[in-house]
Structure 1
Amino acid sequence: MLELAITKKLKNFSIDTAFNVAEEIVVLFGPSGAGKTTILNCIAGLTNPDEGRITLNNRRLYLSKEKPIPVQKRNIGYLFQDYALFPHMTVKKNIDYGMKDKALVHKLISVIGIEHILDRYPQQISGGEKQRVALIRALATEPEALLLDEPFSSLDDKTREECQRELLRLHSIWKIPIIMVTHDYKEAEMLGNRILLIRQGKLEK
């Protein structure tokens, strides 16, 4: 269970939001600049709220006036919009970075079907392939929660649908809290067990 109740002042408004995520996919949906990515960054530890608390499986990641748990100790997978693959590393080395269980990685590679590109570099593979590699890399750390920031926005329709199905299939196996940001309501309806509408940092009822 991922639980948060945070406030954070941004340039034009303040984030003031609270919600819980169990073993489900929760979609943060709303216009650009609503604070969705900032909420993900606070959960991941890339930035900190001004006040509040964030807990994951009863482990305190952030609490006002306490020293926050650093990024690398939060055990949270984060799939960025641009995938953030290391350009100087092969696909295999990208996936192995932070890997905890070699058998699990072999299984993920097989399930997602990227055996044929393991020796290639990121600039030699397609957008859909990069997305799959980034997803495996995020899961290879055996995270307790997964954050997805517009992960399918740059893909063509066919590849996007394939990757959406793979995410649902992996989540059915790996029942961890997933929080996903998207601007696509159709995608939100397809993937989300719940959709949270966010405008200017606040949840709309």
Structure 2
Amino acid sequence: MLSVKIRKQLTQFQLDIQFEVNQEILVLFGPSGSGKTTILNCISGLITPDTGQIQFNDQLFFQDGLRSLPPQERHIGYLFQDYALFPHMNVYKNITYGIKAKKKAISDSRLPSLIQVLKINHLLSKYPHQISGGEKQRVALARALATEPSILLLDEPLSALDQQTRLECQDELLRLHQIWEIPFIIVTHDIHEAKKLGDVILFLEKGKIIQEERSEKIGHSSLIKRIH
């Protein structure tokens, strides 16, 4: 379980949130500037909260006044909005770069399986400028998952795609989550996407959770409640 309880003073407001997520898809939904990406950055260690605590199972990521674990020690996969692929590296080198950077070798059988699942075998020798948006998304996902992370963070991963490709990639994310069985935390502005992907949707406004909705897709009745 990932437990997050943090505060962070931003330019326009104070981010003040608390939530827990198990092996499910948690969607952060809200307007631009509501603190969604800041939450991902705090979890990943790219930003340090002012106060609070972030803990995953028995591992303490952050505790104010005590410690802040460096990003490379948190074992988190992060898919950025622009995919952040290296233009001078081919697809295969982009995928394996994350493994080398984290000094954690994926098993010989797991990497080919991941490449096959994402249907990018034919792209391995190509460069980012030679592939489509949907293909870039799959490559970025492969790189994020190649290190076998304990948590996957996705910041507007499908926003740049056309509608048909976006729908296909939504299905891909759901399928990957079933295979990987780790917490996915996804930021989106699209309410239909949020409802399709999310086991739990947190509605944010000016740094605070104003609603929580649990999806029926995991066998529970839909529940919306006010978070105090």
Q: TM-score, normalised by structure 2?
A: 0.88
Tell me how far apart the structure 1 counterparts of residues 160 and 109 of structure 2 sit (CA, whole Å): 30
- Where in structure 2 are there 5+ consecutive unaligned residues? 100-104, 211-225
Task: Report whether the alignment pairs 1:116 with 2:122.
Answer: yes
Letter in 2 for 1:39: I
Give every structure 1 segment of 4 or more consecutive aligned residues whose post-TM-superposition deviation is greater than 3 Å.
none
- Highest RCO, 1 vs 2 (Cα 8 Å, sep ≥ 6): 1
What are the superposed Cα offsets for residues 126-149 of structure 1, whole Å, 9 maximum, x if unpaired?
Answer: 111000000010000110000000
Tell me how far apart the structure 2 counterparts of residues 63 and 73 of structure 1 sit (CA, whole Å): 15
Tell me how far apart the structure 2 counterparts of residues 107 and 166 of structure 1 sit (CA, whole Å): 15
Task: Report whether the alignment pairs 1:154 with 2:160.
Answer: yes
Tell me by how many angstroms 1:61 deviates.
0.3
Per the alignment, residue 135 of structure 1 pairs with 141
Per the alignment, residue 92 of structure 1 pairs with 92
What are the superposed Cα offsets for residues 50-81 of structure 1, whole Å, 9 maximum, x if unpaired?
Answer: 00000112200000012311011100000000
Aligned alpha-carbon RMSD (Å): 0.7
Tell me how far apart the structure 1 counterparts of residues 51 and 38 of structure 2 sit (CA, whole Å): 14
Per the alignment, residue 41 of structure 2 pairs with 41
Q: Secondary structure at the match of 2:98?
A: coil
Tell me how far apart the structure 2 counterparts of residues 124 and 66 of structure 1 sit (CA, whole Å): 47
Tell me how far apart the structure 1 counterparts of residues 112 and 155 of structure 2 sit (CA, whole Å): 25
Letter in 1 for 2:187: V
- Aligned residue pairs total 205
Task: Report whether the alignment pairs 1:125 with 2:131.
Answer: yes
Per the alignment, residue 221 of structure 2 pairs with none
Per the alignment, residue 178 of structure 1 pairs with 184
Letter in 2 for 1:165: D
Letter in 2 for 1:45: G
Per the alignment, residue 76 of structure 1 pairs with 76
What are the superposed Cα offsets for residues 135-190 of structure 1, whole Å, 9 maximum, x if unpaired?
Answer: 01000011000000000000011111111111111111111011100000000000
Per the alignment, residue 202 of structure 1 pairs with 208
Per the alignment, residue 191 of structure 1 pairs with 197
**Counterparts of residues 30-69 of structure 1 (less than 5 Å):** 30-69=30-69
Tell me how far apart the structure 2 counterparts of residues 75 and 6 of structure 1 sit (CA, whole Å): 20
Q: Secondary structure at the match of 2:67?
A: coil
Tell me by how many angstroms 1:98 deviates.
2.5
Q: TM-score, normalised by structure 1?
A: 0.98
- Where in structure 1 are there 5+ consecutive unaligned residues? none
Letter in 2 for 1:79: L
Tell me how far apart the structure 2 counterparts of residues 19 and 67 of structure 1 sit (CA, whole Å): 20
What are the superposed Cα offsets for residues 1-25 of structure 1, whole Å, 9 maximum, x if unpaired?
Answer: 1111000000010000000000000
What are the superposed Cα offsets for residues 77-130 of structure 1, whole Å, 9 maximum, x if unpaired?
Answer: 000000001111110000011232132111011011111110011111111100
